[in-house]
Amino acid sequence: MTCDKTILIINPGSTSTKVGIFAAGEMRINVSVKHPDEEIRKFPTIWDQYDYRKDAILGVLRDNKLSMEEIDAIACRGGNVRPLPGGIYRICPKMIADMKSGVYGAHPINVGGLVAFDLGEQYGIPVLTADPPMTDELCTSARYSGIPQIARQSSFHALNQKATARKIAAGLGKDYHDVNLIVVHLGGGISVGAHRKGRIIDVNNALDGDGSFSPERAGSLPAGDLVKMCFSGDYTKEQMLKLLTGGGGLYAYLGTTNAIEIEKRIAAGDEKAAEVYEAMAYQVAKEIGACTTVLEGEIDAIALTGSLVYSKVLLDSLKKKISFIAPLYLIPGENEMEALADAAMRYLNNEEELSVY
């Protein structure tokens, strides 16, 4: 895929703003501007970070002697928007309003979307996003939880999952819409998606719902015991939510989310670290096994992606458990910047039409 356009890529996180320039078919600039905790904590809300984040983005352009007049399109990682099918979307006032409402969550990525939108308006540049975290293509059966008051939600690493699936399909000499894949994102959160003919028909809620426990998330829990904890009087609502997201998983058991540190502890003979790490691999493998039933055994490949793919201990354990299912492919790293560039190129090359928000 070629493209002679210059694309500005924006991907804000909690403690950094990643800024990229994609031009002439390659990532020319890929910078992560770090935001010290003492600076971020000065802002009462994420929206108060607007000028701070905008200055970081424009600062990268200045440092590389680029101007906004040289940019042909802006691609920004999707924010907290309403559930919608995967695809490429133009960031529009309605999307901005939904992010500002806070109904679908609050994250610095929403501020990045507003900065991107405003820059696009100022310079007459199309502003795009692709496969936001609330991408929802679940089949009907996947939405049932067991009680009518709760429906299962789709909230996961959609951008990297979709990008990884397209890479695997291309490597197989097929179109994404012609294959069945199981894609596993292994990062701070872990998502396992069943991709059937271009749609993710089942995936765990990797934000604060279900699935395997991960470096910082609790995953699925025994429901009765969870209810008892909530009403024990020992924990506030905020403390319980922190246990689910941010304070659960590897962190809760071992006091760290750092896989390198955990592997060193295992190598030094730490039996508890080895046991917990193996339990995480065990649960991930169970999720993958569940997806084989969803796809009725027709699976072209399994893909593992995310930062934990660099963990040999985790990979060795997973390979023993899942290699018999289908060919296994490894695409390490988050790959979000590349995925956004790829989406923008598909739009600019008229290979994929914009979806309507």
Which pLDDT score, from 0 to 100, does residue 246 have?
A: 85
pTM over 0.75: yes
Domain 6-134+336-348 has CATH 3.30.420.40: yes
41, 49, 6: which is closest to 25 by C-alpha? 6
CB 75 within 8 A of CB 344: yes
* Tokens of residue 74, six digits: 């802006």
Quick one: pLDDT at residue 104?
Answer: 87
**CATH architecture entry for 140-326:** 2-Layer Sandwich (3.30)
Question: What pLDDT is attached to residue 3?
Answer: 62
Residue 51: the pLDDT is 97
Residue at 275: amino acid letter: E
Task: Answer yes or no: are the C-beta atoms of 44 and 34 closer than 8 Å.
Answer: no
Extents of the domains making up the chain? 6-134+336-348, 140-326
Q: Is 68 exposed, middle or buried (0-12, 13-18, 19+ CB in 10 A)?
A: middle
Mark 205-233 as b/e (b = at least 16 C-beta within 10 Å): bbbbbbbbbbbbbbbbeeeeeeeebeeee
Q: Contact 101/49 with Cβ under 8 angstroms? A: no
How do the pLDDT tens digits run along the chain, 357 residues long?
556 899 999 999 888 999 999 998 899 999 999 998 889 889 999 999 999 999 999 999 999 999 999 999 999 999 989 999 999 999 999 999 999 998 888 888 999 999 999 999 999 999 999 999 899 999 999 999 999 999 999 999 999 999 999 999 999 999 999 999 999 999 999 999 999 999 999 999 998 889 999 999 999 999 999 999 999 999 999 999 999 988 999 999 999 999 999 999 999 999 999 999 999 999 999 999 999 999 999 999 999 999 999 999 999 999 999 999 999 999 999 889 999 999 999 999 999 999 999
CATH topology of 6-134+336-348 equal to that of 140-326?
Answer: yes
Tell the residue number behind the tokens 């197989």, with chain if given: 172
Range 209-212 contact pairs with CB under 8 angstroms and sequence separation of 24 or more:
209/152, 209/153, 209/155, 210/152, 211/283, 211/287, 212/280, 212/283, 212/284, 212/286, 212/287
